[in-house]
Structure 1
Amino acid sequence: MGGSSIWLCPPAGTQIEAVLIKLISNTVPAYFGDEKVPDFRPHATITSEIPSNLDPQEVLDSIDIKELPNVVFSSMVIGETFFTRGTLHIEKNDSIVALATHCREKFAFGGQSKDDAEKWAREIFTPHVSLVYSNLWPIPEDVSKAIENDVLSAGIGLSGVSGSNSEPDMNGWKGGKLLLVPTSKPLDEWVVLAERNL
């Protein structure tokens, strides 16, 4: 993963932001024993591979937002990679796909064709909010279940999980904030290069 990534973060000061921070920083790491899992801010990666020679603030300021991105959580998924070990998958609705396609076409690898960007957004892009980065694999079934229970008991709604009842503003968020983060660097060098409120 070269260059930087565009992150979509929940609006500052909202309940969903506070709940996600608690899950990422305190609740979920407790299941990973002695492994020092990293702490990070809640976000969905919209695209990576943004060349480092581009001006970070200009990148974010030049993103054309036709419709505010609408994040809707669908399920809790245990992934097979360090960065997807525990994630909240997001519905690939029109607003999320349009934002990812636009950012990919305009910036990824210095710019891609519209066809390539659309194909990537439809077939490869898997929008999610990570809850933990971990080397532990496989994840024991009881840990996976416990994390999902923590997510639900925190009040987060999952559209794909029956019996998942939550307040409408706890099943995701609308709008939020875009950040540019140099994710090709080591984790401890992931700093915010630029940000833009939507």
Structure 2
Amino acid sequence: MLSATIGLMAFFVVGGVPGAVVGVIGFAVALMVLKRREPPWSRRERDRVAADLPLAADLMVACLRAGQPITGAIDVTVEAVGGPLGDRLAWVSGQLRLGAAPESAWQALAAEGPLAPLARTMSRAALSGAPVADVLTRLSDDARHAARAASSAAARRVGVQAVAPLGLCFLPAFVFLGIVPVVAGLAGDVLLP
């Protein structure tokens, strides 16, 4: 609907045959831009996965240190965390229970942005035989640090974005109340005898 509206507006503004060409081009460009945008539900899901990742890693570490196997730790984490991260971890647990290679089961999650570090970490741990609990602890610390950095960057961005409307409101007032009277006063002294 939005891309059709943009195409029609371009047609009416330009008019005639050139307007039809510009309208079709405007429609196509708007459609491509809108299709590339990430849907809101996808963004919310990605943000929730990123927010739940440190907790999930800590829960898996606690289960592993208590003596659970990796599939048992994943199952406990799935029940505790739930949501989109729980669904993905449940899939990995199912693959591991069916006998899939651990590195290939974890690599299936590497395509998703927030889960890529978990997938790489668990694949490397499976290949090298490194202690999974230590690797997950580092992953949890890194994810928390990244979340803190993102939230402080968002707070700084809000401060910068708040300055623009204030500047747009105060700058004209400053010009009209501060500069115009001074220039008018000086112009009156210079131009009048």
Calculate the TM-score normalised by the size of structure 2: 0.22
- Structure 1 or 2, whichever has the larger Rg, is 2
Which structure shows the higher strand fraction? Answer: 1
Calculate the TM-score normalised by the size of structure 1: 0.22
Which structure shows the higher helix fraction? Answer: 2
